[in-house]
Chain A
Amino acid sequence: MKLIKCPVNGVRPLQEFLYGGELRPMPDAQASSEREWADYVFNRHGEPGVIKEWWYHIASGTWFIAERDTLKDEFLRTYLYSQEQPK
């Protein structure tokens, strides 16, 4: 069984979580062109690597950030969005 460490509730099974997709900074909607906005809406970091993602712990309603290696499916770090710090 796959285990994920929720920053609030500790290690819990995968079934208690929902995937929220890649963390993507939103461009300024007014200042960006149609093309830039479409890029934000649709395009994704598709290739394997370590990416920051949103995950949701269903039972406690906690959204948090996970840094995960999508090739090996390994969680490197999990933390609340408010705790995010530049490495």
Chain B
Amino acid sequence: MPYRLLKFALSRSHPEPRMFRAPESLKKSYDVVIIGGGGHGLAAAYYLARDYGITNVAVLEKGYIGGGNTGRNTAIVRSNYLTPEGVKFYDKSVKLFQELSADLDLNLFYSERGHFTLAHSDATLRTMRWRAEVNKHMGVESRVIGPDEILKICPYINIECGGHEIVGALYHPPGAIIRHDAVAWGYARGADQRGVEIHQKTSVTGIEVKSGRVTGVHTNRGFIETNKVLCAVAGYTPRITQMVGLRTPLIIQPLQACVTEPLKPWLNSIVVSASLHLYVSQSSRGELVMGASLDPYVVHSERSTLDFVEGLCGHMLDLFPFLSNVKILRQWGGMSDMTPDFSPIMGRTPIEGFYLDSGWGTWGFKATPVCGVSMAYTVAKNEEMDLIKPFTLARFEKYDLIGEKGAASVGH
């Protein structure tokens, strides 16, 4: 291997296969333009090409693919939601994730760990029983367990938890983690192989709308004609909807995460505590990947703060006191596009040909495959797939909200 590496370094060309092409220029027009080269946008491109034969598609990414929230989340996949609409939708996503490595012919390191949401009070246990019953009814494995069983599965937890005693947990065995950037790269390769163009470092500067219809997109590299635009940009959504004059309930709040130095494997499960505002899992590299709740106010920035690490680590030590000598390796932030009901905003909009895949707040990564499937359907047929009909922008006008706050991993 070192010899091969040396030869590669000295070689004038770079013979390693590329995951996708880098087209030099934009075409004059595309059938579909997807704004945002994250997991959602690339998955939509992949399924548009694979399932509907729509290959004259451009994915425009202002930075590099997977560099936004796709690469900034804590890579947790689960479906133990609260509403039947939500459970059905995320369950489909989990099932797609389970087969995704084979589908994309790329090892995504999908690793089923079991997902615990700890309860520190009777009130929390009540919501968990409710969630467990909805989950079971929808055919999703989920149950409430007591402290004994928690200790059997994860013996390192401090049940007294610094005064916030653990009284039970919602246990969701299919909960998993996956290499999140590989998901983006796998979809990118699959889409590229089928003819989709991926344009990195291409930012959208305006969207042309004539008599209520999308006619084109202005970018920093020129104008593109198109009748269909899919906006899949998470925390940047309000900047794009502003270009077409669309008002939405989205507000942007930062969500932060961090990892420790690598440790030997000791934590098999994904552990979440709403009361302590934290979630943690151990990656295949051995790092503890940790996240907390949202920053408490609107900021359009991916900055990270000392307050966050201090707060998070304090609670981590309540749960796992023996980690006191472990160091934080790095921390980062992402921008969450929050909705009032903690459910996404997907589908058509009042502007013909402008489709939204947004409102992904703190729960977007786990929905990547199902968003790809359902948005590809929506764009191809100009009609929402049944699975996402409850999530349209129009639900707010009808006061028909899908309250998922109770299933958010931590009390935001």
- Of all chain A residues, the one with the shortest Cβ separation from B250 is A46
Distance of A14 from chain B, by nearest CB (Å)? 8
Assuming A19-B297, A71-B300, is B397 touching A46 (CB within 8 A)? no
Binary B-proximity of A44-63 (CB < 8 A = 1, otherwise 0): 10111000010000000000
Distance of B233 from chain A, by nearest CB (Å)? 12
B2 proximal to A (CB < 8 A): no
Taking CB atoms, residues of chain B closer than 8 Å to A53 are 297-298
Does A47 contact B247, Cβ atoms closer than 8 Å? no
Does B399 contact A46, Cβ atoms closer than 8 Å? no
Interface residues of B in 290-336 (CB under 8 A from A): 296-301, 303, 305, 307
Distance of B311 from chain A, by nearest CB (Å)? 10
Taking CB atoms, residues of chain B closer than 8 Å to A21 are 251
B265 proximal to A (CB < 8 A): no
Does B296 contact A42, Cβ atoms closer than 8 Å? no
Interface residues of A in 36-87 (CB under 8 A from B): 38-39, 41-44, 46-48, 53, 70-73
- Assembled-state Cα–Cα distance A60/B387 (Å): 48
Interface residues of B in 213-271 (CB under 8 A from A): 237-239, 241-242, 247-252
Cβ 8 A contact of A44, one of B250, B303, B307: B250
B20 proximal to A (CB < 8 A): no
- Of all chain A residues, the one with the shortest Cβ separation from B301 is A73
Does B399 contact A38, Cβ atoms closer than 8 Å? yes
- Assembled-state Cα–Cα distance A39/B248 (Å): 8
Distance of A6 from chain B, by nearest CB (Å)? 15
- Assembled-state Cα–Cα distance A16/B307 (Å): 13
- Of all chain B residues, the one with the shortest Cβ separation from A51 is B298
Assuming A35-B397, A38-B399, is B249 touching A43 (CB within 8 A)? yes
A1 proximal to B (CB < 8 A): yes
Distance of B39 from chain A, by nearest CB (Å)? 22
- Assembled-state Cα–Cα distance A18/B301 (Å): 19
B110 proximal to A (CB < 8 A): no
Taking CB atoms, residues of chain B closer than 8 Å to A47 are 238-239, 241-242, 300
Does B251 contact A44, Cβ atoms closer than 8 Å? yes
Cβ 8 A contact of A46, one of B237, B299, B340: B237
- Of all chain A residues, the one with the shortest Cβ separation from B335 is A48
Taking CB atoms, residues of chain A closer than 8 Å to B307 are 1-2, 14
Cβ 8 A contact of A48, one of B239, B248, B250, B396: B239
A34 proximal to B (CB < 8 A): yes
Distance of B41 from chain A, by nearest CB (Å)? 19
Interface residues of B in 193-212 (CB under 8 A from A): none
Distance of B148 from chain A, by nearest CB (Å)? 38
Taking CB atoms, residues of chain B closer than 8 Å to A71 are 300-301
- Of all chain A residues, the one with the shortest Cβ separation from B337 is A46
Taking CB atoms, residues of chain A closer than 8 Å to B248 are 43-44, 46
Distance of A39 from chain B, by nearest CB (Å)? 7
Assuming A35-B397, A38-B399, A42-B396, is B249 touching A48 (CB within 8 A)? no
- Assembled-state Cα–Cα distance A38/B399 (Å): 7
Distance of A18 from chain B, by nearest CB (Å)? 8
Distance of B402 from chain A, by nearest CB (Å)? 13
Distance of A15 from chain B, by nearest CB (Å)? 8
Taking CB atoms, residues of chain B closer than 8 Å to A72 are 301
- Assembled-state Cα–Cα distance A85/B299 (Å): 25
Interface residues of A in 1-18 (CB under 8 A from B): 1-2, 14, 18
- Assembled-state Cα–Cα distance A70/B253 (Å): 10
- Assembled-state Cα–Cα distance A34/B396 (Å): 11
Does B297 contact A48, Cβ atoms closer than 8 Å? no
Cβ 8 A contact of B397, one of A1, A38, A44: A38
Known: A19-B298, A38-B399, A72-B301. 17 other contacts (CB 8 A): A2-B307, A19-B297, A39-B247, A41-B396, A42-B249, A42-B396, A43-B396, A44-B249, A46-B238, A46-B252, A47-B239, A47-B241, A47-B300, A48-B238, A48-B252, A48-B300, A73-B299
Residues of A within 8 A of B (CB): 1-2, 14, 18-19, 21, 34-35, 38-39, 41-44, 46-48, 53, 70-73
Residues of B within 8 A of A (CB): 237-239, 241-242, 247-252, 296-301, 303, 305, 307, 337, 340, 396-397, 399
Show 13 A/B contacts (Cβ-Cβ < 8 Å), sorted by A: A1-B307, A19-B296, A21-B251, A38-B397, A43-B247, A43-B396, A46-B252, A46-B337, A47-B239, A48-B239, A48-B252, A70-B252, A73-B301
